A and B are shown apart, each in its own frame.
Chain A
Amino acid sequence: MLNHQLNPNNWIDLYSDYLFNYTISRVNDREIAQDLVQDTFLAGLKSMKNFKGEASERTWLISILKRKIIDYYRKINSNKGKAEIRITYNEDSESEGDWLEERVADPFDKTAEYTIENEELGDAIHKCLNKLPEKQAEVFKMKTILGYETEIICNELNITASNLWVIIHRARTAMADCLKENWF
């Protein structure tokens, strides 16, 4: 039998980005997402004794996070008094009477398949990032994902611009290699 263990010392290094990414796509607010991730780690710590070792650490943390996200939505909904459902209609004479059909297929909504594929891709990217040496991952994230200017990164990490580009080059090569098997 697979028996997974919990090791909270590594949680933040290993999973904080992944959990944050999971949350941000659901709550759309960086600060709230940060709080939810933090809550998740703390809740995980408290309920460590309930961990049966059936799921991996990450899956287990995600299941706690899901609860936290649901609780969050419950809370903001109860603030409003009650849940609202809004339906917008197209004021278009051509599609008059078609409102039901219109609801069924929303051409502007991304298909479920598309969303799932993107989530898997994001997952793969996070796994590959975790494999990079710490410094490379750091610089790569700041430059590519957070989109910081070269100068800002150099100042913050105390490196030269040419140093930065060497690190970026190595990180990009490693990331491309890592993602190659499934995604290129």
Chain B
Amino acid sequence: MSNIKFFIPCDEANHTCDKSQYKEATFLEKIKLNIHLIYCKACRKYTKNNALLTKKIKISKVDCLDKNTKEAMKKDFENALKEHSIQ
């Protein structure tokens, strides 16, 4: 019991908070985060904004191209651009 530290520094708390936005934080990490949030106002604010950001992105249903598709698109377009400038 004594080798588990329940009080964590802010950077660790923020890291757990980031991970939990992607459902990658473990149960113990979440407990530690919540203990930290009890007494740390700055991290409470960060956690709140972070959760809100996740929510906003989810409801906005934004989508984007993946890197490879974009690269391919760029290549095609650059060829077209070259032809265009020759004419």
A contact residues vs B (CB 8 Å cutoff)? 8-9, 11-12, 16-17, 20-21, 24-25, 34, 37-38, 41-42, 45-46, 118, 121-122, 125-126, 129, 138, 141-146, 150, 156, 165, 168-169, 172-173, 175-176, 179-180, 183-184
Contact = CB atoms under 8 A, between A and B. Distances in A.
B3 interface: no
Contacts of A42: 77, 80
Interface of B: 14-15, 18-19, 21-22, 24, 46, 49-50, 52-54, 56-57, 59-67, 69-70, 73-74, 76-77, 80-81, 84
A38 B73 contact: yes
Contacts of B64: 17, 20-21, 129, 141, 145-146
A179 B70 contact: no
From B64, B69, B76, B81, name the one whose CB has the most chain A CB atoms within 10 angstroms. Answer: B64
B60 A122 contact: yes
Contacts of B74: 12
Contacts of B61: 25, 118, 122
A41 B65 contact: no
Nearest to B68: A156
B56 A121 contact: yes
Contacts of A25: 61, 63
Contact of A20 (B46, B54, B60, B63): B63
Contacts of A129: 64
Given A21-B63, A118-B60, A143-B22, 20 more contacts: A12-B70, A16-B70, A16-B73, A20-B65, A34-B65, A45-B77, A45-B81, A122-B60, A122-B61, A125-B57, A125-B60, A125-B62, A145-B63, A145-B64, A150-B22, A165-B15, A165-B19, A169-B14, A172-B50, A184-B49
